Structure 1
Amino acid sequence: MKHVSILIINEAVLASIADPRIIFTGVNDFLQAAGKPPAFKVQLIGLEREVHLHGGLFTVHTDALINEVKYTDLIIIPAISGDIETTLQLNAPFVPWIIEQHKKGAEVASLCIGAFLLAATGLLDGKECSSHWLTASQFRAMFPKVTLVDDRIVTEQNGLYSSGGATSYWNLLLYLVEKYAGRDMAIMAAKVYALEIERKSQSPFIMFNGQKAHEDEPIKKAQEFIEANIADRISVEDLAMRYAIGKRQFERRFKKATNNSPLEYIQRVKIEAAKKQLESSRKNVNEVMYGVGYADTKAFRTVFKKITGLSPIEYKSKYSQIN
């Protein structure tokens, strides 16, 4: 039987505590109904006996304090809320315990932006991590040694797991159920809780808003120019010349400021504009393609699918507001 420790951290999102408890205890119920022993011992672990969440609206009673748990097999770090840096400070006492348990062989899984607390342990340094795409820029700024793959729903490296944003953490929970209790139980859980078991990317949900939280004014002006001229064909050479910066230096500064190369940024701005048109206008795919400056259907489809995980037609079918 695997010991699962769900951390009741300060400023945790309640659903990300309840949901892992539901799925692991639910699998135990499935096994019991089949005349088999339970697979999991599930405990809520905290710094105090009672933890008040969401401004005191909810109180969670812990099963044990961290100093009472000498060994566990799996640690679940729930999603966090509020100001991230303040929340990390409030939960700093969990960090050495997580590190110690991982050294003893425990695996650790973060849900959504619980990845910030996992990253704060240093265990993710030099490794990949998933999190909510909305906080990607802040994550990269705070943890430059971690490779954030913000399009992926599940990452796994050396017993460390992370999930994409919001309810996509259910896919990580299914992944863990399959690992510990087998494929049959994962399929059963997917059916009972109405989940898509093989969803691997959160790319279709990402909304690209540009990364302007930096102080490089010429680069910010270049970003604004790109966004104001989505129908035009813009080259990196044109941008560098426009802002009187050498091409190589421009590319280096742009990448440092935005975490994208100029070409990647141009593509993402155009595809974001295309997504919005596919969602809310009666234009067909070709009309949208021309409207964002593409003349080559194959090139447009390739870039669109690379960024969103879907073809333009699939995206329109899934998200169009117009019948």
Structure 2
Amino acid sequence: MRRLGSVQRKMSCAFVTEVKDEPSAKRERQPFKVLATETISHKALDADIYSAIPTEKVDGTCCYITTYKDKPYLWARLDRKPNKQADKRFKNFLHSKEKSKEFLWNVEEDFKPVPECWIPAKEIEQLNGNLVPDENGHIPGWVPVEKNSKQYCWHSSVVNYEFEIALVLKHHPDDSELLEISAVPLSDLLEQTLELIGTNINGNPYGLGNKKHPLHFLIPHGAFQIRNLPTLKHSELLSWFEGCTEGKIEGIVWHCNNGYLIKVHRHHLGLCWPIPETYLNSKPVIVNMNLNKYDCAFDTNSLFNQLSKIDKQIFGRLKDIILDI
């Protein structure tokens, strides 16, 4: 079976999109909407989307696991963005009548500084030895999440570098209808991208934990494959999102044979997100930490320690897990 969850190329929409002069329901201060037409995009067809693996698009923040200080480390997404002057020039260009021309960046002068440990995402193109910004004028990249990081405290809560493990949510290996929270060796996740979800991420669309006892997990990209997806037609996908339990998700990501990712978001179809009840919260979940093999003692307030107290317990849904120190 094809391995999912490794570092992939930038996502493209499955359908040709058009811009409507209406305020975006997804992004604040964006005065337009991007909606899908009924035409499948050339990028999707070229990537052979019909033979691709459809998976649930999980609403969180993207992470990456690779080596740092000779150990597997969790890295947080940090895009290198243009400074104020360059951003103004770029926006003027986007609103000008010269879109047929190419905007010329000076990477050394046009972008804000990033930490020395910053690395660019692997899929970023290079031209004459310089990184090429994407269509938004950003250079996607990563920074390592240090232990007890204040800036990335929710990221650091799901990893333990002493024992080199991470808190992961995925299907139970023996029961696809059961979710499992487990401590996974970071070495098993090397060179994969994952989504961090939880109490303090993206408005917590899955209702995890609470302010007093926050709860966060990592989900490998591609972990939740969609089994009963309708044909790739605008109307049928719209009906599936609106009427099926499996459709109560943020969107779909197709993992194509050539490594490309093709997506469709509920907003592309004019549908709302977040929604009150999600598919992720329709399944029972077991806490299966299995920490005995590590012979470890965790900090009292750590998420690892809190979850170890409810090890082997099964909950009706993720929302039902309430930690109590």
**TM-score calculated relative to the size of structure 2:** 0.21
Higher strand fraction (1 or 2):
2
Higher helix fraction (1 or 2):
1
Bigger relative CO (Cα 8 Å, ≥ 6 apart):
2
Larger radius of gyration: 1
